Amino acid sequence: MTNRPPTLSPAPDRALAQVAELSMSGRHQQAVEALKLLMRQRPKDAQVARWMACELAYLNQLEQAIYHAQRALTLEPGQPEASLTLAYVLIRKDRVDEAVRALDEAGKRHPDHEELQLTPMTFLSNAGRRGEVLARTKALLERGYDNPEVWVFRGVALHEAGRVEESLEVFSEGIRRHPDYLRLRMIGAFSAQYSDVIDRRTLREMHLDAGRVIRRLGPPEFTAFENDRDPERPLRVGFLCADFRRHVSAHFLAPLLRGLPRDRITPMLYHASVTEDDFSAIFKRIASEKGGAWRMVDGLDDDRLFAVLRADRLDVLIECSGYINLTRVPVLGMRPAPVQCSWMAYPTGTGIDSIDYRITDAIIDPPGLAGMTEESGERVLRIEGCELGFDPLEAIPEPGPLPSVANGHITFGCFNAVKKVTPTTVRMWSALMQAAPGSRLRMRSRGMEEREVREVWWGRFAEGGIARERVDLLPPVNGAKELLPDYRHVDIALDPYPYHGTTTTCESLSMGVPVVCLMGDRPAARVGGSLLNAVGLRELAADSVEEFVRVGSALAADRDRLARLRSELPRLVRERLGNDADFGARFERGIREAWRVWCAQKS
C-alpha cells in the first residue's frame, strides 16, 4: 500500500466523464472549472464534491480539498471513496490522527472494504507508529480478516522494530496461507537478510523461491530481440528504480549517471514512484545532458511497464531496488531487454533466472568465495574497484574536532536502523566497549523515540555487561542535514552485522569518522569492507569478532590516528568515491563485458 490518492471511480454520467478526461490528461485547473459549473447545477451531489476535492488536491490547494471532501461525507456519510479522499488529503497536511479516524469511521460501516481496513496501517507505518500497526493487525486477524497485506504489515512492523526473527515467522505463516502473494515472499526474503540466525543456504532458497513464483505467475519471457549485435556500439541502458528522488539511493545513482561516457552509454531513467522533488530534477537534467530520457512509470502495471521498456529498445536494463519497497522486479521476469542486471540497493541476488547479472565487486563477492549471487540465479559481474560511487548531493558540514579530546572518553556511534542491530552485533559491540574502558555508545534511529523501545535496547546491552549510562539511545532527525552534524559527537562508527550500512558508512567517512566492521559470508556483510578499501582503510574490516574487538580497541587507543583521519577522510571520500568519470568508465567496462557475451550468442 502507498500514499497515492484513491483512484477515481468510473464516472457515473457524461458530465463527470468529461471531468475525468481532463484529469487524466493532467488539465486539473480546467477540471476544477468544469466542476464549479456542476456544483451550481448539482449542489447536493456527493460525487461532484469528492471529485472537486481530488482535483484541488492535485493542484495542492489542500485546505479547499479538505473542505470539499468533508462536504462529500456530509452529503453521503461513510462513503468509502470520499473517506479515502479526505484521509489522503489530511495526510498531505501531516494530520495522521484525523486521517486514520476518518477511515476508521467509514471502516465500521464497510468492514470488508480492503482500502478502508489497510490504508490506516500505511499511514501509521509511515509515521513510525509500529505498536499501533501491530495492535491493528492482531485485531484484524483475530476477527478473521485474513488479507495477505495484513501479514505484510505485521511482518514489516516487527522487522522495523528489530524483532527480525518474529517478523520471519509472520512472513512464513502469511506465505503458508497465501502462497501466490508475491509481496510476502519478496519482503520475507528481504527481511531474512537482517537475521544473524538464518544461514546462507536458507537465504539463497528464500530468494530462489521468490524468483520461481515470479516466473510462474508471469508470462513467458520475451526472446525475439532484434538489437544490433555490435559489441562496441553505443548502448541504450535503462535504469529502473523508485528512488530518483530524495532517497539514500540517489547518492549512488547520481555519480554513476553523471560519470557514464556519453559517447558509449545513453541512460534511460524509469522512475517507479509517485514522488518527484528537487533531486528528481537533478536526474532529469542528467538524462537530458546525456541524450537519454526520463519516464514516470509509477502506476503502470507490469504489462504496461513492459511495453514502455520494450518501446525504448533497450540493450541493457539495470534494476536498482531489488525486493525493497516499491519494487518492480517482477517485470524483469518478462525480460524487456536482452541483457538484464541488478545493482546497488539490494545487497544480494534476487533468485530470478531472467536477471543475467548482479553488478558487484571483488570484495563484496570475492572470486574464491561462493557468494549469494552465483547461488541465487544471477551471474556475478565484477567491476574494477568499488561497485559504488558516492555523492552527498548537498554540502557536508565541517567534522569539527575529535570529541574525545574535549570529553575525555571515546564515543562509538551507529546511526543505522535498529533492525540491523542483531544479537550478534550487540554482543560484539559490548565486547569492544569492555575492551575500551570508559567508552560510550551513541545510537540514533527511528523507534528510539519510544520509551519501551529504549528499555528493550538498554536491556540487551546490560546482558553484555554495559550499563545504560554508557548507551545513548536517540530518536531520528529530519534527514542528512540534521543527522550529519551529530557525527561531531562520534569518534568511531560501528557497522552492524550481518547487514552492513552503506549510506551511513559513506556519511560517516565523509564526516571524518572511521568505521569498523565485521566481514561475513554474504554480500550484505561485505559492503562495508569494499567502501573502507576504497578510502584506504581495509584493515578496519575484521574477519572475526575477536579481530573486530582488537581492531576497534586499538583504533580507540590511538588518538593521533583518529585526529588525522578526521582531517583526511572527507578529502579521501571526495577523491576516491566521488570521482564520477572514473566510476562511470569502470561501470561501462563492466556493462560492455555483459553486452559482448550477449552479442556472441546465436540469435
3-state secondary structure string across 499-528: CCCCHHHHHHHHCCCCEEEECCCCHHHCHH
CA distance 163 to 212: 28
Give mean pLDDT, residues 366-392. 80
The per-residue DSSP string of 75-143 comes to HSTT-HHHHHHHHHHHHHTT-HHHHHHHHHHHHHH-TT-HHHHHHHHHHHHHTT-HHHHHHHHHHHHHT
Q: Helix, strand, coil % (nearest 5) of the chain?
A: 55, 10, 35
Which residues, 6 or more positions from 367, have their beta carbon under 8 angstroms from its beta carbon?
Answer: 382
Closest CA to 279 of 309, 316, 253: 253
- pLDDT score at 349: 85
Q: Is the pLDDT confidence value at 14 over 90?
A: no
Give mean pLDDT, residues 255-284. 96
DSSP assignment, residue 413?
A: E
Amino acid letter for position 152: V
- pLDDT score at 6: 53
CA distance 458 to 453: 9
- pLDDT score at 275: 86
Could you give the count of Cα atoms lying within 13 Å of 171 in the half-sphere of its Cβ?
24
Q: Is the pLDDT confidence value at 499 over 70?
A: yes
Tell me whether the CATH fold assigned to 1-115 matches the one assigned to 128-217: yes
DSSP assignment, residue 331?
A: G
Q: Give the chain's mean pLDDT.
A: 93
CATH number for 1-115 (one of 1.25.40.10, 3.30.70.260, 1.10.340.30, 1.10.530.10): it is: 1.25.40.10
Q: Is the pLDDT confidence value at 48 over 90?
A: yes
**Cis status, amide bond into 498, omega within 30 of 0:** yes
Domain ranges of the chain: 1-115, 128-217, 235-391+582-600, 403-577
CA distance 197 to 41: 66
CATH topology for 128-217 is: 1.25.40
Task: Report whether 235 contacts 266 (CB < 8 A).
Answer: yes
Task: Report whether 188 contacts 172 (CB < 8 A).
Answer: yes
pLDDT band at 3 (very low <50, low <70, confident <90, very high): very low
Residue 46 in grid coordinates? 456527493
Sheet bearing 492-494, strands edge to edge: 471-474, 440-444, 411-414, 492-494, 515-518, 541-542
Mapped onto helix, strand or coil, the DSSP state of residue 267 is strand
pLDDT band at 516 (very low <50, low <70, confident <90, very high): very high
**Burial group, residue 115, by CB count within 10 angstroms (0-12, 13-18, 19+):** buried
CA distance 85 to 68: 10
Q: Is the pLDDT confidence value at 445 over 80?
A: yes
Q: Is the pLDDT confidence value at 602 over 90?
A: no
According to DSSP, the residues that pair with 442 across neighbouring strands are 413, 472
Cα 397 to Cα 360, 393, 406, 567: the distances in Å are: 30, 12, 19, 13
Task: Report whether 502 contacts 416 (CB < 8 A).
Answer: no
Q: Is the pLDDT confidence value at 66 over 80?
A: yes
The residue with cell 593521533 is 560
Sign of the C-alpha dihedral computed for residues 240, 242, 245 and 249 taken in this order: negative
Phi-psi region of 324 (alpha: psi -120 to 50; beta: other; left: phi over 0): beta
- pLDDT score at 77: 92
Closest CA to 566 of 350, 351, 399: 399
Entry pTM:
0.89
Sheet bearing 293-296, strands edge to edge: 293-296, 265-271, 235-241, 316-319, 339-342, 357-360, 379-382
Task: Report whether 533 contacts 541 (CB < 8 A).
Answer: yes
- Specify the CATH architecture of the domain 235-391+582-600: 3-Layer(aba) Sandwich (3.40)
CATH number for 403-577 (one of 3.10.20.30, 3.40.50.720, 3.30.450.40, 3.40.50.2000): it is: 3.40.50.2000
